[in-house]
């Protein structure tokens, strides 16, 4: 019995246990983005959105007996409206319901189903400072998640997506 335990401990001592984090990933335009799973309250199918006649990217939807603020995440990130495939087809859209540090919630519409990934902490790579100041993608943290040579995700900063106390409707009940 001792010999078996010794072999097992030798075999497991060669593996490195690395801390991992769960993220939610989704595609916007041609770029992949991620949010920490603890920032996500729920993912639901996007219902009717209204109250944005001038297409500024801030609208409302009805969610669990209250009006929920919906922020056009693509407009916040890229600074422009992205024409997505949902405008030409009856494709199902999704709503990421996220919360900030004050537990104010907003919905972020996305066109593709989100995925959950567990990534090692070593996959979190700092972005160059020049990209953060001169890049054309907004609301990202200073971190890129590099899963492999082919796949990278921009980690979004929830505080930049929904600044604290800037959207009073986000937590008001009807």
> In the chain, what are the domain boundaries?
18-169
Average pLDDT value for the chain: 78
Question: Please, which pLDDT band fits residue 82 given cuts at 50, 70 and 90?
Answer: low
pLDDT for residue 25: 94
Q: What is the mean pLDDT of residues 13-18?
A: 57
> Residue 12 pLDDT > 70, yes or no?
no
82-123-150 Cα angle (round to 5): 55
In the prediction, which pLDDT does 118 show? 93
- How large is the average pLDDT for residues 12-35? 80
Place 95 in a pLDDT band, splitting at 50, 70 and 90: very high
Residue that wins the pLDDT comparison between 114 and 167 = 114
Tell whether the model's pLDDT for residue 1 goes beyond 60: no
**pLDDT value, residue 3:** 43
Asked if pLDDT for residue 108 goes beyond 70, the answer is: yes
Count of residues in the chain: 174
Predicted pLDDT at 100: 74
Q: How many CA atoms lie within 13 A of 36 on its CB side?
A: 15
Q: What angle do CA 150, 75, 158 make, to 5 degrees?
A: 70
pTM score: 0.73
Beta-bridged to residue 143, according to DSSP, are 126
pLDDT at 147 over 80: yes
pLDDT above 80 (res 39): yes
In words, the CATH class of domain 18-169 is mainly beta
Radius of gyration, alpha carbons of the chain: 20
């Amino acid at each position: 019995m001792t010999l078996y335990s010794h072999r097992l401990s030798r075999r497991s001592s060669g593996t490195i246990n690395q801390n991992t984090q769960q993220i939610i990933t989704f595609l916007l335009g041609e770029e992949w983005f991620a949010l920490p799973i603890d920032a996500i309250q729920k993912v639901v199918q996007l219902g009717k959105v209204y109250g944005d006649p001038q297409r500024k990217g801030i609208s409302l939807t009805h969610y669990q007996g209250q009006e929920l603020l919906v922020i056009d995440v693509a407009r916040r990130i890229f600074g422009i409206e992205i024409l997505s495939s949902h405008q030409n087809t009856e494709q199902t859209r999704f709503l990421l319901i996220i919360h900030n540090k004050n537990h104010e919630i907003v919905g972020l519409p996305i066109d593709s189903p989100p995925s959950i990934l567990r990534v090692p902490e070593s996959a979190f790579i700092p972005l160059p400072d020049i990209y953060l100041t001169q890049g054309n993608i907004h609301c990202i943290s200073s971190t890129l998640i590099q899963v492999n040579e082919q796949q990278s995700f921009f980690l979004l900063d929830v505080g930049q997506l929904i600044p604290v106390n800037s959207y009073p409707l986000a937590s008001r009940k009807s």
